[in-house]
Amino acid sequence: MIVNFFLFSTILMLGLSSCQEHKKTELINSKPNIIYILADDLGYGDLSCYGQTKFSTPNIDALAKEGILFTQHYAGSSVCAPSRSSLLTGLHTGHTPVRGNKEVRPEGQWPLPDSSYTIAELLKDNGYATGAFGKWGLGYPNSEGDPLNQGFDTFYGYNCQRLGHHYYPYHLWDNDKKVFLKDNMGTKKGQYAPSLIHKKALEFMDKNKDKPFFLYYPSIIPHAELAAPKAYLEKFIGTLEPEKAFKGTDEGEHYRDGKYESQPYSHAAFAAMITLLDDQVGEILQKVKDLGLEKNTIFIFTSDNGPHQEGGADPDYFNSNGILRGYKRDLFEGGIRVPMIVKWKGNIAEGSTSNHISAFWDVLPTFSEILKKESKSNLDGISFLPTLLGESTIQKQHDYLYWEFHELGGRQAIRKEHWKLVKYHVKKAGTYYLFNLDSDPSETKNLADEFPKKTNELIKIVENARTKSEYFNF
């Protein structure tokens, strides 16, 4: 009798395991919808699930409770355009076509070439409806880098990063049409762009609910100019003292053309903006549930680089980079390590955490593996799908991660296992920093002289990690 009981239990357990595996395979084979939400200049410590205490982000926290939170995920670069180029192409900044912020007047940035193969093109080639809603920054209107020429069926938002400094812009782009916002003319503030963009993103989900869709949501929050709708701002005025006032450009030639507007309540505005973004994430999550798509939708939330210090922003007050050193434009951890949360109901263990070392250029090969498509052989990325599915024993690891930055005299960095080498003043002789991130995650002690053999090993990798670019060289 006892033998039969154990035999029955074993058969039952095997059956349940087989059902779970079948369910996983079924979900993967059904082409899950993918929603990728990219905050702009959100620091590693700007979410309450990552340690923020001055305000809360309950909807994003709920995403973490229902999915997996990554502690060692890295952006493509420490500024906007190269970080996004790395994300979309699966290549680090030593190989991706756009390696720096390079403006093209009157509106837009240096374009991704037609030869690039982007995440959007991968998904579109596999039957997905593809939409981008927010800030682009990878090609001026109608260029080969225009989002409509890089795999997106639909685009609504800012083409240009410079104009994306402003929350009450004079115009946005609806695919290839410039849409003027009459309620923002002159100095009026009648149409808050993130709200307009958010509405279009929800409409895209409604329109494409009956087929697989890829929603790329590169929000401009909380980048640069600090501005929030009155109802959100008033929640925080007087609660984040001592307040910080910022005097900016409120009229004249450069008004709403890159220069930031004044903000007497910088702390309140910053908290209000992230609260609004958190509410928008909550509305996206609820929309997916209302459409009955939750079990077949992957959500990813992250940020394009570390926290900025412009326009009245005060990352030290908010501890926006947590224990990490540096800010936007730095290649220390605070400039490039970012939050990443992934939810995939039924596939990812709820409330899990991963210290897997990953980066933006891993996203494209991860999506390729989900679709059971081979990645192009020249990619720098490695799929982190095994980590998502709790199969860490078969998760491949990077030999190294590499970054470069083309302003402020040039900067390079490399991470190999727990070692991190940072090179500043690339255009001159160069200054090297070596850190052991296991024992010193805040990068407080330079070990370059103490470990010359390791320093020289990593210097050689840095020197060979990039290919020459026609437009982006030191």
Q: Are 297 and 37 in contact (CB under 8 A)?
A: no
Selection from 354, 308, 302, 322 nearest residue 75 by Cα: 302
CB proximity list for 323: less than 8 A, separation 6 or greater: 441, 442
**Measured at the alpha carbon of residue 335, what is the angle toward residues 334 and 337, in degrees to the nearest 5?**
65
Q: Are 338 and 382 in contact (CB under 8 A)?
A: no
CATH 3.40.720.10 intervals, the chain: 29-399
The whole-model pTM stands at: 0.94
CATH architecture of the domain 408-474 equals 2-Layer Sandwich (3.30)
* DSSP strand pairing (352-354 vs 297-303): unpaired
Q: What is the pLDDT along the chain (474 residues), one digit of tens a residue?
A: 444 444 444 444 444 444 444 444 444 457 999 999 999 999 999 999 999 999 999 999 999 999 999 999 999 999 999 999 999 999 999 999 999 999 999 999 999 999 999 999 999 999 999 999 999 999 999 999 999 999 999 999 999 999 999 999 999 999 999 999 999 999 999 999 999 999 999 999 999 999 999 999 999 999 989 999 999 999 999 999 999 999 999 999 889 999 999 999 999 999 999 999 999 999 999 999 999 999 999 999 999 999 999 999 999 999 999 999 999 999 999 999 999 999 999 999 999 999 999 999 999 999 999 999 988 789 999 999 999 999 999 999 999 999 999 999 999 999 999 999 999 999 998 999 999 999 999 999 999 999 999 999 999 999 999 999 999 999
Phi/psi region, residue 56 (left: phi>0; alpha: psi -120 to 50; beta: rest), is beta
From CA 126, how far away is CA 59, in angstroms rounded? 31
Please state the CATH superfamily assignment of the domain spanning residues 29-399 in this structure: Alkaline Phosphatase, subunit A (3.40.720.10)
CATH 3.30.1120.10 intervals, the chain: 408-474
Secondary structure percentages of the chain, helix, strand, coil, to 5: 30, 20, 50
